[in-house]
């Protein structure tokens, strides 16, 4: 309530105004002797309050004074409504800017002629321009959008707006050409903001960078092509020898024996390819299971390196530290990971060279390093080699074969056992893959008892690796008092 106080002595020179709240629309008079009231009615908001007027001398009140005060009440109501609307507009603007600044999609607003007016932080990141560069410049100059191989023609209005209308809100795939000629795919949408006369005043554009989605789609296409190629090779051999065996007399006893041996060998290769594909599918669906126990790695490493050396005729050796401590792992999953890495090392060392497997004990972990001296990888390939379906250059795919899921399987299994895997590599100088697993005798990290007072016994594990294991359905052992062990 707003009030102008009445002086303590002497008659007031003007009436006294008091603004209060009321839910009535009619004019009120003579609330008490010498006090009059007028509702504050705003054009948009309706009744905002009441203006009370107290006359110093009720006998001097004139009818025309009532009309003047009613006009004053109208002006006060309008002023209050304007102030309220301004505060709401400022708050809404701040809220909209806060939302736009945090939206992952790029949002660009242009006027009806295609000049940039507003954009969010994601637009700066995705399109790579600086805010001062976009001032009063056209959308075509800043964004450089293309449809297929042709630049978007916005001479007759926003081309993306027209395409978005035809796409019924599904989005339009456009591209930009970056430095070096690389294309950046974007999913774009545009919507018009019209004025009171139906003329397009602004166009709101939204863009989503779909580079990763396109790469994933291309990787899956490459996977299907390479997997088909990998499957076709042993199947062709199996079918050929099978048909020859079916033809009576086409092969002698020695030839038949060789054919059966070839069929068996190719069947093993085929089975490995199918097993990898099925294992990848189980990992993706979260159905992989590992059973952790205290495992001595030395016998496994010696047996697997010897098996590869015998099968391939290559120099594959294990260098194991004496008295290597046991680790917490699943022996079958670990053997599979070692097989993948050794097979990978042999495949990418076409000119020969030794394959070395080193096992070393550290204070809390045991590291197993598989080293080759083959073709190596670039920094970008090394960074992405554990991704599902990732392949190197297409020429390498055909040269070395493979489905692109072996290293993805290795990483998934090692992480499921609470370990880590990494790689260092140089082009032309080989690669070194390092697995790290926790020692069975490693000290358990102390956890205060009060932590378990607030954490339910079935709460998820706190670490990222444990959370990953929980999502994959791997049982977690718990010690006394709900503690992990």
Q: What percent of the chain has pLDDT over 70?
A: 72
Residue 246: count of CB within 10 angstroms of its CB: 8
Residue 56: count of CB within 10 angstroms of its CB: 16
Statement: the pTM of the whole predicted model exceeds 0.75 = no
Q: Residues near 75 by Cβ (< 8 Å), separated by ≥ 6?
A: none
- Give 88-102 pLDDT, tens digit per residue: 888 887 777 776 667
Identify the bridge partners of residue 294 per DSSP, sorted by sequence position: 328
Averaged pLDDT for residues 401-412: 76
Residue 342: count of CB within 10 angstroms of its CB: 25
Contact 58, 34 (CB under 8 A): yes
Domain locations along the chain: 2-99, 104-209, 215-284, 293-438, 449-482
- Could you give the CA distance from residue 320 to residue 479 in angstroms, rounded to a whole number? 32
Residue 484 has pLDDT above 90, yes or no: no
Task: Pick the closest to residue 300 from 276, 336, 328, 269 (CA basis).
Answer: 336
- Give 175-228 pLDDT, tens digit per residue: 888 887 888 899 999 888 888 888 888 889 889 888 888 877 776 766 666 666
- Could you give the CA distance from residue 234 to residue 225 in angstroms, rounded to a whole number? 15
User: In this predicted structure, which of 148-157, 313-322, 390-399 has the lowest mean pLDDT?
Assistant: 390-399
Q: Residues near 144 by Cβ (< 8 Å), separated by ≥ 6?
A: 151, 176, 177
Averaged pLDDT for residues 148-168: 83
- Give 370-388 pLDDT, tens digit per residue: 999 999 999 888 988 888 7
DSSP result, 150-164: EE---TTS-HHHHHH
- Give 6-54 pLDDT, tens digit per residue: 334 444 434 444 444 444 334 444 445 567 788 888 888 888 888 888 7
Class of domain 215-284: mainly alpha
Q: Residues near 2 by Cβ (< 8 Å), separated by ≥ 6?
A: 17, 18, 19
Tokens of 256: 């038949």
- Give 427-466 pLDDT, tens digit per residue: 988 999 999 999 999 876 544 444 333 333 344 433 433 4
Tokens of 191: 């919507």
- Could you give the CA distance from residue 163 to residue 171 in angstroms, rounded to a whole number? 8
Identify the bridge partners of residue 52 per DSSP, sorted by sequence position: 18, 37
Contact 386, 411 (CB under 8 A): yes
Residue 229 has pLDDT above 80, yes or no: no
Radius of gyration of the chain from Cα atoms? Answer: 38
CATH numeric code, 104-209? 3.30.450.20
Q: Mapping DSSP to helix (H, G, I), strand (E, B) and coil, where does residue 293 land?
A: strand
Fold of the domain built from segment(s) 293-438: Heat Shock Protein 90 (3.30.565)
Mean pLDDT computed over every residue of the chain: 76
Averaged pLDDT for residues 152-164: 84
Task: Pick the closest to residue 435 from 331, 358, 377 (CA basis).
Answer: 358
């Amino acid at each position: 309530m707003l009030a102008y106080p009445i002086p303590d002595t002497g008659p007031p020179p003007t009436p006294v105004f008091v603004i209060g709240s009321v839910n009535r629309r009619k004019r009120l008079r003579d609330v008490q002797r010498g006090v009059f009231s007028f509702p504050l009615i705003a054009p948009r908001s309706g009744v905002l309050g009441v203006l009370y007027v107290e006359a110093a001398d009720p006998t001097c009140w004139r009818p025309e004074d009532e009309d003047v005060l009613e006009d004053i009440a109208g002006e006060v109501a309008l002023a209050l409504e304007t102030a309220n609307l301004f505060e709401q507009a400022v708050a809404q603007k701040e809220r909209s800017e806060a939302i736009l600044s945090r939206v992952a999609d790029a949002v660009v607003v242009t006027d009806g002629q295609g000049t940039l007016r507003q954009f969010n932080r994601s637009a700066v990141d995705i399109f790579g321009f600086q805010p001062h560069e976009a001032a009063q410049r056209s959308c075509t100059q800043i964004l450089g959008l293309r449809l297929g191989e042709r630049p978007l023609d916005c001479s007759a209005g926003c081309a993306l707006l027209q395409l978005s209308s035809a796409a019924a809100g599904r989005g339009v795939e456009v591209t930009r050409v970056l430095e070096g000629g690389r294309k950046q795919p974007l999913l774009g949408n545009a919507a018009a903001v019209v004025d009171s006369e139906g003329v397009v005043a602004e166009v709101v554009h939204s863009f989503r960078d779909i580079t990763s989605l396109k790469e994933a789609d291309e990787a899956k296409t490459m996977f299907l092509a390479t997997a088909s190629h990998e499957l076709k090779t042993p199947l062709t051999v199996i079918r050929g020898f099978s048909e020859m065996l079916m033809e009576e007399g086409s092969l002698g006893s020695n030839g038949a024996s060789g054919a059966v041996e070839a069929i068996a060998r190719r069947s093993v290769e085929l089975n490995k390819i199918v097993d990898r594909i099925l294992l990848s599918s189980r990992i993706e669906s979260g159905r992989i299971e590992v059973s952790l126990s205290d495992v001595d790695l030395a016998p496994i490493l010696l047996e697997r390196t010897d098996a590869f050396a015998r099968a391939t005729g290559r120099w594959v050796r294990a260098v194991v530290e004496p008295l290597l401590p046991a680790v917490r792992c699943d022996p079958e999953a670990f053997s599979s990971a070692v097989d993948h890495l050794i097979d990978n090392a042999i495949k990418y060392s076409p000119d020969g060279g030794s394959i070395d497997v080193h096992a070393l004990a550290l204070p809390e972990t045991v590291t197993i390093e598989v080293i080759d001296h083959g073709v190596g990888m670039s920094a970008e390939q090394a960074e992405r080699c554990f991704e599902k379906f990732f392949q190197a250059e297409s020429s390498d795919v055909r040269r070395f074969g493979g489905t692109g899921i072996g290293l993805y399987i290795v990483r998934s299994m090692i992480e499921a056992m609470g370990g880590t895997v990494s790689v260092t590599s140089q082009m032309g100088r080989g690669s070194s893959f390092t697995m790290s697993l926790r020692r069975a005798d490693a000290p358990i990290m102390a956890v205060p008892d009060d932590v378990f007072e607030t954490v339910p016994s079935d709460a998820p594990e706190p670490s990222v690796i444990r959370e990953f294991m929980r999502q994959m359905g791997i049982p977690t052992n718990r010690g006394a008092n709900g503690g992990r062990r």
